[in-house]
Amino acid sequence: MSSSAEQTEADPTPTNPSSDDPPDPTPAEPVGPPSWDVFVERPVPDGLGQAVHLSHELAGVLQRSRDDLAKDRGRAAQESAAVLGSLYELAALAGQLELQLARAEAPLVEGGNKRLHDLLRVLKNQMLEELRQRGIEVRDPLGRGHDEVAEWADVVHWRSGPQFSAEVVAQTIEPAVFHHGRDDHDEATGDDDKVVRRARVVMGCPEPEAP
């Protein structure tokens, strides 16, 4: 009996593996760099890989620089035109202020406000001087003859009376604005001053002769 027990312990009967156990994993294939077989030959696009002449490359760079410069000049011209438009408007307003101060001088002085009038006149003169330094001038056509101002003043009304011996500007509604030193020659004035704002005036004339 003892010998049978020893044989059983020494040579145990193998047990059947369960069907639920996973199968042995398949050994992984070695991983390495891809071979040339995975690459597909494709046609080269036209022009790719061809040598570019240095002169052609420089010509392209120069053309792009010219295009950028033209765009910058265009923007600068637009900004300059906007600034000039604002200066012309300021000049027209300064001219209007000059007209109103001239008409209000007597009432202000008679009312004891001479110092106020003098202060406003000084400020107005400073404004006009700043504009003149930038080539912009305000001209009042009051008292000038019709032929003298015909090219830069618009007559909005005629006034006849015995005080007029010829056709002259009797009243300035809005003064004219000129710009000196412009590149374009102005045929209206016959010089290099450009009329940028025409004056608006009342023109006086002699009374018609009795029939």
| Domain contains 99 | yes
Its pTM stands at 0.60
- Compute the average pLDDT of residues 51-69: 78
Query: Does 84 reside within a domain?
Result: yes
Is residue 41, in this structure, part of any structural domain at all? Answer: no
Give 164 or 45, the one with higher predicted confidence: 164
- Give a yes or no: residue 18 inside a domain: no
Assess whether pLDDT exceeds 90 at residue 166.
yes
Q: Which of 193, 191, 192 is nearest to 178 (CA)?
A: 193
Distance between CA atoms of residues 121 and 118, nearest Å: 5
pLDDT for res 7: 47
Rg (CA), the chain: 48
Higher pLDDT, 69 or 136: 136
Q: How confident is the model at residue 2 (pLDDT cuts 50, 70, 90)?
A: very low
In-domain check, residue 161: yes
Q: Is the pLDDT of residue 48 over 70?
A: no
Residue 47 lies in a domain: no
* Structural domain boundaries enclosing 91: 78-205
Asked, for residue 107, whether it belongs to a domain, the answer is yes
The domain total for the chain is 1
| Averaged pLDDT for residues 64-73 | 84
Mean pLDDT across the chain: 81
Residues 6+ apart with CB under 8 A from 92: 138, 174, 175, 177, 197
Between 180 and 29, residue with greater pLDDT? 180
Question: Does any domain span residue 50?
Answer: no
Instruction: Give DSSP secondary structure letters for 49-60.
Output: TPPPPHHHHHHH
